[in-house]
Amino acid sequence: MSETGLVQILEGALMAAGEPVSLKRMGQLFDDLERPADDDIKAALEEVAERCSGRGYELVKVASGYRFQVRQNLSTWVGRLWQERPQRYSRALLETLSLIAYRQPITRGEIEEIRGVAVSSNIIKTLHERDWVRVVGHRDVPGRPAMYATTRQFLDYFNLQSLEDLPPLAEVKDLDNLSGDLPLEVLDVAAETADNDAAEADTDNHAPPHADEASIEETPSEQLEQESEDDTETH
């Protein structure tokens, strides 16, 4: 197989996939006898990325693999293809998501202690529905509260390859700066107030946070490291 042929195959696969494609999945496009090595696939991907130079789209590597996407500086124009306005998120949701991202694994009670208000069940539900957070274990204290961590889908959505790509907390002086680094939008003041009122009215009972040891099924870093090894497995 010529190098040009490999580049074209990968271009076609990435264009048709509609989702990130890992190196492992790219290798599965070929029969055993013609399957290229991972290094050859990576070299071909570099050429694919070079071919995107000067175009309205680019090749991006995220946690789940590689994908084509429209360049962010074109979002104003491309977004007009859809009549529906993009979903907007309240400050309360952004704060909750930020705490999970930077303090994971973390319990709901710990989030409430840091924020000083109750976390609305709708916020947790929304984060689960977006598949941005998941339960990774339970704190080994009375009540065994669930411990939350971010998912690979969270990394993909924000164009991150790993949690290490999050902006350092030293550079994030407030939530508004964080939402600027991560493409999230905040609701207007009225909607934000309604969200906070709903959060404070939430009567769910949660176990208080403790500093005791936690029983974790699998930490986010361990899981992502294992998934990364699986994706780069040579066949």
Give yes or no: residues 120 and 167 share one domain: yes
Per the structure, the count of domains in the chain is: 2
CATH classification at residue 170: 1.10.10.10
pLDDT at position 32 is 85
Whether residue 34 is contained in a domain is answered as yes
Domain boundary among 80, 115, 142: 80
Split the chain (235 residues) into runs of 10 and give each run's mean pLDDT: 76 92 93 90 93 92 92 86 74 90 93 91 92 93 93 91 82 52 40 41 40 40 46 45
Domain boundary among 80, 99, 117: 80
64-105: pLDDT as tens digits: 999 999 998 998 888 888 776 666 788 899 889 999 999 999
pLDDT at position 125 is 93
What span, in angstroms and rounded, lies between the C-alpha atoms of 148 and 133? 6
pLDDT at position 62 is 92
User: Which structural domain, as residue segments, surrounds residue 17?
Assistant: 3-80
pLDDT at position 234 is 42
Whether residue 166 is contained in a domain is answered as yes
Whether residue 13 is contained in a domain is answered as yes
One-letter amino acid identity for 93?
Answer: L
3-state SS, residue 120: coil
Domain boundary among 27, 59, 80: 80
- Residue 209 φ/ψ region, left for φ over 0, alpha for ψ in the -120 to 50 degree band, beta for the rest: beta
As given in the structure block, the two tokens for residue 118 are: 């109750």
Give yes or no: residues 31 and 62 share one domain: yes
What span, in angstroms and rounded, lies between the C-alpha atoms of 171 and 21? 31
Give yes or no: residues 97 and 179 share one domain: yes
- Peptide bond just before 168 cis, omega within 30 deg: no
pLDDT at position 194 is 40
Using CA atoms, how far residue 115 sits from 20, 119, 127, 146, 161, in Å, is 34, 9, 17, 18, 28
Whether residue 86 is contained in a domain is answered as no
Cβ–Cβ under 8 Å, residues 215 and 145: no
Give yes or no: residues 66 and 105 share one domain: no
Cβ–Cβ under 8 Å, residues 147 and 136: yes
Whether residue 73 is contained in a domain is answered as yes
Whether residue 235 is contained in a domain is answered as no
| Helix, strand counts (H, E) of the chain | 11, 6
